Amino acid sequence: MAHRRRSHPNLYSYPPLPILLLAAAAIFLLCASPSSSAKSETEILLKFKESLENAAELSSWNPSQPPCEGERHNWEGVMCEDGKVRGLNLNGMGLKGTLDVESLVELPDLRVFAVIDNNFEGSLPDFNKMGAVKHVYLSHNKFSGEIPSNGFQGMSSLKKLHLNNNGFVGAIPTSLATLSKLIELMLENNKFDGSLPNFKQERFTMVNFSNNLLVGEIPPALSKLNASSFHGNAGLCGAPLKPCDVHPKLSTGTKAVVGMALAAALVAILLVIIILAKRKPVSAAEEGAATAQVAAAQRKAPQDEMDKIEKGSTASSSTAARSTAPSSAPPAETRRAEQSVKLSFLIEDREKFGLPDLLKASAEILGNGIFGATYKAALSTGPVMVVKRFKHMNIVGKEDFHEHMRRLGRLSNQNLLPVVAFYYRKEEKLLVSDFVDNCSLAFHLHGKNRSGSSSLDWPKRLKVVKGVAKGIAYLYTELPSLTAPHGHLKSTNVLLNSSHEPLLNDYGLLPVVNLEHAQAHMIAYKAPEFRQGGRITKKTDVWSLGILILEILTGKFPEKFAQQSKGSEGDLASWVESAIGDGEGAAEEVFDKEIKNGCPEEMMKLLKIGMSCCEVDVEKRWDIKQAVKSIEEVREK
Ligand SMILES: *[C@@H]1O[C@H](CO)[C@@H](O)[C@H](O)[C@H]1NC(C)=O
């Protein structure tokens, strides 16, 4: 009885109701009357001025008139908009003393802060408290000291940051690499050292790291900048400067050089493995460094996890264990073969090979995608593999990455290109799949000699659409937790086998790709709902499918449309819409002239399906079920 009362306390064990009401009223009053506690802009700025020294030029800052009236400023150096303080421009005023960021934070509309060419010294004030500020100019002062790595964390609105010509030392704060809006970053003429953070912003307009003490490789996202942005740092290498020694340049395109580059990358990876293995010596060391690390990984996995794996449970989250300890005990020979490699295999009934085998294989570069280079490697035993390097996949840790790869490894569908194996290293990942000989859909649609035998007739195009739809529907069913289960559907990621059956590639990667990189490059983030509302939805892949259908029918390359006009009106769907809007006759005009054996009615039916999938209004857009059902109903004749 007593026990039951304890687990169901009666009303009297809570504070009496009147007290609760009073407390609620007090909280309400505190929150609802900001005017009583919030200071005016006049008060805030005067407080800010108090901690400045040598502020003779700010004599106009006095309470006799407000700082701003409409767009006009009464106070020197105050930038006004709509009667509000939008910015402070205190350049070249000989100011010293302390920058009272605490006060600035209280100015809700402050977007610009400039104190170029003054005499401020000491360490950088806590600007990251000003989450909404867009432009910060501190150039030509005497600031010094290290900036903490999270010094700019949370400044998601920051577009321009000028810290040049000061005395900053230490590493460039890594938090700068996370600011997606940043377009100007001037850090030249300081004493920053160490390597550059892995900047991923590709929209930089002005960046300067010159005359610091920086070393190491320039991140790929910065490689297109002017070399003068990096001069005066003896230790920096890589494009646009001279290549770094360990990575021979890929651009000459000859097989040999590419092979060497891949070899160099793999050697680097092997070196890391060896170093890792040396750090934790294990009994199996004599079987070789790679084996040692596998053993270490196995040892770390708790016994119950191992048991789960041995029983073939899919819930395991332990590291590389699954690939090295398959469900049924393999013959000793296979086990040794698996352990001598460091690739994690996702498909069990495969001939196993390792990085060394890929190293020996003759390699050829297939292309450079948004993630990194893709190589084709022919193993000496026959199979031809494709190895993709991924450089923008370091948001998830090793266990989560393995877990996600195993999820992808369990997928099996005739319209998906399986991931055969993968390799995990903190800075980069390799995904290995089979080489598909018959090129991508993009090549068939837009390749140079497409009017020859490689051109696709209507039955083939319909087959491709149906296959792609099946593959996407399968992904929706099997990866229900992903908002966009494919995420990167486009014609270059649809491979055709010898019987023109489409195979989807690069699917299911959104959870492991760095968000910024994904948002800048992946197809899901080109959808109107992201451009307009900043989010993707369960119907985003349907939109990509629609665009693909329109591309297949019109022979037009969607990315060209996207480039020509940045707005949502510039995509292929709107072009088709306006073209068919001109009347039935004009509708015929939108189809690719290369389509042979076409059936106009059925083609028109498919075109309309494509349009429905591209509906801008997500509410009205079809879901995947309806799209697949309608596609199934289209006939060849
Ligand atoms: C970077 O700064 C250095 C030193 O001030 C200057 O010589 C160089 O022209 C600048 N480069 C760019 C791209 O702004």
Candidate of 190, 208, 209, 226 to mutate for ligand 1, largest count of ligand atoms within 8 Å of Cβ: 208
Phi/psi at 85 (5° precision): -80, 110
CA–CA distance, 451 with 448 (Å, rounded to integer): 8
Of 353, 339, 325, 344, the closest CA to residue 290 belongs to 339
- The ligand 1 atom at the shortest distance from the C-alpha of residue 208 is 1
DSSP 365-415: EEEE-SS-EEEEEE-TTS-EEEEEEESS--SS-HHHHHHHHHHHHT---TT
- Split at pLDDT 50, 70, 90, the class of 140 is very high
Residue nearest to atom 3 of ligand 1 (CA): 210
- Residue 206's pLDDT band, with cuts at 50, 70 and 90, is confident
On whether the CB atoms of residues 121 and 55 are closer than 8 A, the answer is no
User: What's the pTM value of the predicted model, to 2 decimals?
Assistant: 0.50
Nearest-CA residue for ligand 1 atom 13 is: 229
**Which residues, in sequence order, are bridge partners of residue 375?**
365, 387
Using the mean position of ligand 1's atoms as its centre, give its distance from the Cα of residue 140 in Å: 14
Residues with CB under 6 A from ligand 1: 188-189, 208, 210-211, 226, 228-229
Mean pLDDT (whole number) for 287-303: 31
SS3 content of the chain, % helix, strand, coil (to 5): 40, 15, 45
Strands 373-378 and 213-217: unpaired
What DSSP string runs through 419-458?
EEEEEE-SS-EEEEEE--TT-BHHHHHH-TTTTTTT---H
- How far away, in angstroms, is 185 Cα from ligand 1 center? 12
Report pLDDT digits (tens) over 98-132: 999 999 999 989 999 999 999 999 999 999 998 89
pLDDT, tens digit, 9 for 90 and up, residues 401-457: 999 999 999 999 999 999 999 988 887 889 999 988 778 898 888 876 555 555 789
**Rounded to the nearest 5°, which phi and psi values hold at 31?**
-80, -30
What the block records as the tokens of 300 is 């770390």
pLDDT at 484 over 80: yes
Q: Which of 275, 246, 624 is nearest to 469 (CA)?
A: 624
In this prediction, residue 8 has a pLDDT band, given cuts at 50, 70 and 90, of very low
pLDDT in tens, 308-348: 222 222 222 232 233 333 333 334 444 444 443 478 888 87
Domains in the chain (CATH in brackets) are 41-237 (3.80.10.10), 303-435 (3.30.200.20), 439-637 (1.10.510.10)
Average pLDDT (521-546) is 92
Q: How many residues does the chain have?
A: 637
CB atoms within 10 A of CB 379: 15
* The token pair that represents 190 in the structure block: 């300081």
Residue 66 has pLDDT above 90, yes or no: yes
